[in-house]
Amino acid sequence: MALQRGVWIDGGDPAYHVLADALVTLVLFDVRDPRLNPAYISDVLTKVERVGLFVCSQGEGWPDAKTTSPADWAKFAYQKIQALVGPMGDKGKSIRACLNCETHDVQWILRMLSAWRRHSPHRVTVWSMEANQADIFAAHALELRQRSIIAGPQCYVVVPGDPMARVESGHEVAAWSNIMGGADRVAPFLDGAKLGHWWEGIAFTQGRLIGAQ
């Protein structure tokens, strides 16, 4: 599997001692984080195996999928990531991209991923979507496989009284494995506060993981 245990960094530096104890090999940063530059990323890579950079299509301060074309959003994501990793030479080629696009507009996603791959044909890329979306993308399995991406279903939803209600990760992984052509093409996003002893995927977030200890 391209991604085994990762953590979404939600401000501050990675808590390396905690991440080492949790066997985390990947840390994900907001591409807009003002601390990020090639030197900082290179230093992080001396402490963990992999770094990922995430870009969103919803939320404050991001170009929204509702008002931004797929091509323009993909170009924005590419330019943001490339500005950081381009100067890193060969080391920059190993940086992962995380495209956190939660729109339910199937055609927007397909066109965005196609445009992304024209810009960045080889970078390991996770596309993260809301839970319970596999059914609406199942008919487009071949197109998604052709994009050579990893699906990152979010295994939590907002319900009254609980902004992180658990969604069964086994169901999400199975559903997306059928679409993507195997479990090695799925990296579930899990609530960092409810990981349990065994887990594989990306914990959201470092703060929730630490708070649960």
**pLDDT by position in tens, the chain (length 213):** 444 899 999 988 999 999 999 999 999 999 999 999 999 999 999 999 999 999 999 999 999 999 999 999 999 999 999 999 999 999 898 899 999 999 999 999 999 999 999 999 999 999 999 999 999 999 999 999 999 999 999 999 999 999 999 999 999 999 999 999 999 999 999 999 999 888 999 999 999 999 887
The encoded tokens of residue 34 equal 């003002």
Per the structure, the complete domain to which residue 29 belongs is given by: 5-211
The CATH number for 135's domain is 3.20.20.80
Q: DSSP 3-state assignment of 85?
A: helix
The encoded tokens of residue 123 equal 């970078």
User: Domain tally for the chain?
Assistant: 1
Q: Torsion angle of alpha carbons 75, 81, 86, 88, nearest 10°?
A: -170
* 92 phi, psi to nearest 5 deg: -65, -25
Residue identified by tokens 């080889």 is 122
